[in-house]
Structure 1
Amino acid sequence: MRLAHRSGALPGFLRSVLFRPFLQLAAASLIMNIALLPVAPAQSETTRIQRVISPGGIEAWLVHDTTLPLVAMEIAFMGGASQDPGDKPGVANLAASLLDEGAGDLDSQAFQDRMAGKAIELRFDASRDQMSGSLRTLSENADEAFELMRLAVTQPRFDTEAVERIRQGQLASLRRRLNDPSTLASLGWSSTAFPNHPYGRPVMGTLESVPTISREDLTGFVARNLARDNLKIAVVGDITPEALAPALDKMFGALPARAGLTPVPDVTPQGLGTVVVKELDVPQTSMVFGGIGLKRNDPDFIPAFVLNHMLGGSAFSSRLFKEVREKRGLAYSVYSHLAPLDHAALILGGTATKNDRAGETIDIIKAEWLKLLTDGPSEDELADAKSYLIGSFALRFDSSAKVASQLLQIQIDELGIDYIDIRNQLVGAVTLDDIKRVAARFRDDPAWLFSIVGKPSGLASSDGG
């Protein structure tokens, strides 16, 4: 969304800012209702989440909450940048950036002025597996907001002026990224792990590909990818199911029934057991590391999630934090996380350290991973991890926007409408035997690929395996 420089944007911006403190208060109340209370046998808290089906068969998940006169909506079209043409990475990203830059009979300025005049926030983004959209509005302006959403997804204009302006902005961003070590490390990891696969191409495209993207590329991408059968919707706020159902048809009913997605093959990361170095004259070496993880629908995903928390998922208590930062002062931060993509299961992490400590840092990270897989955690370490993961779950719901995002992700992951009820129970049920079982699976192929950028030294003892 680009409102600040538009004429007439200030009143809407001020209204949004004034409402923000109240939104936080309302969100705190909302999460108390849907995530903190224990599940009673008589009535599940998931009854707050309603499955709304439009007359035309479009489904959305709704949390109806009238604490404030606000509506938050999150949508996702499955596909994303993995659907880019092989020789033109960046099409999905450029298309997403242009959906709110003019639609229907409204050019970019008119579209933005309509949003600003009603304090409507609407934006779109692309990731590897989805093109997503976010809508925020006062409930009194919901009809206007829904109309702008309809125009954006069904009648984007892709006017020459808007395309070139956004294209130039993205090229400027790409040039900046060429000097950002952490970005280069991430891009290097993906291109090495997924050669000749959509996941190996940069979502934002390249300095070579973005200038070649035509209006026909953009319109073709939207026509193939934005459809009703690959659409997920979550709504939170001051709107009833009776009002939302027809609004779904109004916004999305004109979309094609089925998307024309190109099949994307499942893939396993390549280059495991190696260190890929890109020289850059900077004082620190940035690194991204990772290997084979678990898919989100794997029965062992929750135990693996707990295992990763103990490795590098906690900012202060993880093994990597203690060994890399606290004991040796090698880095300010170090982290790891499970990254289950639609077509690849990964565990990823990252850190940055002084150039002359890069080899030592890699050795420690590898050693801690293998030690955790071989020896496992103690009962106390496991109990502490579960306690944190259960207690912090509510922080994912501390605004209506976060609630909508979580409901959307639960749909994307196909976890079931009762997942909010059962998630903490699943974490709490993880035992040492579960951790040992999932650790044994990781030990089948524990090697990681390290992508590092800087002027590293001390790599002779590190082969990345």
Structure 2
Amino acid sequence: MQINLIRFFYAACLILAAASAQAALPIQYWQMENGARVYFVENHDLPLLDVSVEFPAGSGRDDKSRPGLASMTQHLLTHGAGGMTEEEISRRMADVGANLGGSFDQDRAGLRLRTLSSERERSQALGVMAKALQSPDFPAQILEREKTRSIAELKEAMTQPEFVAGRTFNALLYGTHPYALSSMVEPESIAALRREDLVGFYRAHYRADEAVVAVIGDVTPAQAREIVAQLTAVLPRAESGSQPLPAVVMPKGETRKIAHPAKQSHILIGQPGMTRNDPDYFPLYVGNYILGGGGFASRLIEEVRQKRGLVYSVYSYFLPLQQSGPFQIGLQTKREQADEALAVVRKTLRDFIAKGPTEDELKKAKQNIVGGFPLRLDSNMKILDYLTVIGYYRLPLTYLDDFSGKVEKVTVAQIRDAFTRRIQPDNMATVVVGAD
């Protein structure tokens, strides 16, 4: 009966969310005495609470001698904590219909919770999350099991063309930069991980003074403060903050062709692109929507698929990070068409950089981006995603309110100028997996 009630509440969220997110919600910010930075949106429309706690503990913080350590540390947070076994953690979450998961990328790592906001459910779920964050046990037996599982998954992935392409592409883009460490994970490096490695990494990077906490849902500001205190009170602390990751050095253009029995060639082309706080963010963002990020309305789709029928899909995107994240163009095509498709992509990119978009393309892109923006805020979980980004990268609290206006102000000249300065077609890394 209780499970059915919980499911009813969650189903109601899907119905009510769109009506409750017509505009960006006011973001409250404060910093706890222990240094944790908090971003809170109060929303009593639904009986739900979403919480995220993240740290600068992504793959970019890996030890070069132990690639894969950051990921394994984050993964094991919920596999035994505060004396609770992983079975107990799972059972206590299921008992109140809560969901405790993880977040992990090149910059960030942490935990996320979704729970009902009623006292019993909220208290039990937050209690488990607090133990996972502040007193993970990293059980040796569980570590050995997860190492075996991860090694098997990695070996399987290394046979897949898309994985081989992405791994090689990331290595070409970032060379010796910490963002390349995720491409260096091997079965041997996973096998070498020890429990004391995880404990050391946790103590160094999962610190109260580095914590970014996002909270949205059916609680008051006072309750939110109590929640954050509960989740961060006994986290490790340090006298000084962690050092920022080094700036990315632009690599020399290189093409890597890799033999593979796949029927299609998997192609990636690109370079380091932009940071999350990049002054060219909006011209590059809007320009990329026109180039390859707008689906069937994009230039790449028009030139490579619709005019020539060389691919089913082709895309481009920027992934902004603390340092320059990748600008990537990707496609799959028949092996015998790989060279032709790649030539068309490169020509389309060069033409776009040289001439920029047309006024009509820009107008339609703005309409689509601005018109679709409310859908990015139509659930608490989506807003939580934005709160974590705003918090971690220290974006303005008005970021969501300002977004559409900044998109509307972008001009053709700004797009052309930004792409001309920032994207270098002759200096791109290119990977072709399944080349003839």
> TM above 0.5, one fold?
yes
Shift of 1:207: 1.1
Instruction: Give, in whole Å, the separation in 2 of the partners of 1:446 and 1:306.
Output: 23
CA contact (8 A) 1:292 1:445 kept: no
Query: Of 87, 96, 103, which residue of structure 2 is paired with 1:125?
Result: 103
1:31 aligns with 2:9: no
Deviation at 1:212, TM superposition (A): 0.6
1:285-304 equivalence runs, <5 A:
285-304=265-284
Change (3 A) 1:191 1:292: closer
Q: CA deviation at 1:445?
A: 6.2
3-state secondary structure, aligned to 1:270: coil
Report what 1:381 is aligned to: 361
Aligned equivalents of 2:398 and 2:332: distance in 1? Answer: 39
Partner SS state of residue 38, structure 2: strand
- 2:10 is aligned to 20
Instruction: Decide whether aligned partners of structure 1 residues 292 and 108 sit closer, same or farther in structure 2, where only a CA change above 3 A counts.
Output: closer
Give the 3 Å change call, closer, same or farther, for CA 430–312 of structure 1 in structure 2. same
CA 1:95–1:436: 2 relative to 1, 3 Å: same
The answer on 1:174 being equivalent to 2:154 is yes
- SS where residue 39 of structure 2 aligns? strand
Shift in Å at residue 15 of structure 1? 5.5
Residue in structure 2 matching 1:199, options 169, 179, 183: 179
Asked if the contact 2:291/2:316 (under 8 Å) is kept, the reply is yes
Is the 1:11–1:116 Cα contact (8 Å) retained in structure 2?
no
Partner of 1:105: 83
Aligned residues: 433
Residue 425 of structure 1 is matched in structure 2 by 405
Equivalent position of 1:357 in the other structure: 337
Q: Superposition pairs for residues 19-418 of structure 1, below 5 Å?
A: 19-32=9-22, 34-35=23-24, 46=25, 48-54=26-32, 58-140=36-118, 141-202=121-182, 205-258=185-238, 261=242, 264-272=245-253, 274-418=254-398
Helix, strand or coil at the partner of 2:78: coil
Aligned with 2:137: secondary structure?
Answer: coil
Equivalent residue letter for 2:247: D
For residues 20 and 329 of structure 2, what CA distance do their matches in structure 1 show?
A: 33
Q: Is the 8 A contact 1:77 1:227 kept in 2?
A: yes
Alpha-carbon distance change, 204 to 189 in structure 1, aligned in 2, over 3 angstroms: closer
CA apart distance, 1:107: 1.6
Tell me the amino acid that sits aligned with residue 253 of structure 1: A
Q: d(CA) in 2 for partners of 1:55 and 1:101?
A: 29
Q: 1:389 to 1:264 in 2, by over 3 A?
A: same
Residue identity opposite 1:264 in structure 2: L
**Matched-pair contact (CA < 8 Å) for 1:64–1:237:** yes
Alpha-carbon deviations, 1:375-397, whole Å to 9, x = none? 11111111111111111112222
Q: 1:439 to 1:264 in 2, by over 3 A?
A: closer
User: Is this contact kept in 1: 2:54–2:213, CA < 8 A?
Assistant: yes
Distance apart, 1:11 and its partner CA: 6.9
Q: Report SS of the residue matched to 1:286.
A: strand
Structure 1: distance between partners of 2:344 and 2:315: 13
Measure, in 1, the Cα distance between the counterparts of 2:369 and 2:177: 34
Bigger shift: residues 253-262 or 70-79: 253-262
Q: Which amino acid aligns with 2:57?
A: G
Secondary structure of the residue that 2:21 maps to in structure 1?
Answer: helix
Give, in whole Å, the separation in 2 of the partners of 1:62 and 1:387: 30
Q: Distance in 2 between matches of 1:58 and 1:77?
A: 10
**What runs of 5+ residues in structure 1 fail to find an aligned partner?**
1-9, 36-45, 458-465
Question: Displacement, 1:412?
Answer: 2.2
Q: CA deviation at 1:53?
A: 4.6
Aligned-partner SS, 2:323? coil
Counterpart contact for 1:55–1:246, Cα < 8 Å: no
Tell me if structure 2 keeps the 8 A contact 1:58–1:249. no
| Deviation at residue 437 of structure 1 after TM alignment | 1.9
One-letter amino acid matched to 2:177: H
User: Which amino acid is 1:402 matched to?
Assistant: K
1:258-291: CA deviation from partner (whole Å, max 9, x where unpaired): 377465321224242x211121111011122111
**How far apart in 1 are the matches of 2:187 and 2:28?**
45
Q: Is the 8 A contact 2:9 2:47 kept in 1?
A: no
Q: What TM-score do you get using the length of structure 1 for normalisation?
A: 0.88
Work out the CA distance in 1 between the residues paired with 2:243 and 2:199. 16
Question: Which residue pairs with 1:40 in the alignment?
Answer: none
SS at match of 2:185: coil
SS at match of 2:328: strand
Q: Secondary structure at the match of 1:245?
A: helix
Measured after TM superposition, the shift of residue 293 of structure 1 is 2.0
Q: State the shift of 1:66 in Å.
A: 1.5
CA distance in 2: counterparts of 1:244 and 1:85, whole angstroms: 35
**Partner Cα distance (1:214, 1:16) in 2:** 40
Separation in structure 1 between the aligned mates of residue 198 and residue 161 of structure 2, nearest angstrom = 30
Q: Secondary structure at the match of 2:427?
A: coil
Measured against aligned partners, the alpha-carbon deviations of 1:3-29 in whole angstroms (never above 9, x if no partner) come to: xxxxxxx975x6654433211123212
Paired residue for 1:441?
A: 421
In 2, are the aligned partners of 1:52 and 1:245 still within 8 Å (CA)?
no
Post-superposition shift, 1:206?
1.8
Say if 1:114 and 1:203 are closer, same or farther in 2 by CA, change over 3 A.
farther
SS at the partner of 1:417? coil
State whether residues 39 and 387 of structure 2, in contact with CA within 8 Å, keep that contact through their aligned partners in structure 1.
yes
Q: For 1:281, what is the secondary structure of its paired residue?
A: coil
The structural deviation recorded for 1:168 is: 2.1
CA RMSD of aligned residues (A): 2.1
Distance verdict in 2 for CA 1:345–1:126, change over 3 Å: closer
- Structure 2: where are the runs of 5+ without partners? none
Amino acid of the residue matched to residue 346 of structure 2?
A: K
Q: Give the TM-score, by structure 2 length.
A: 0.94
Please say which of residues 374-383 and 339-348 is displaced more in the overlay: 339-348
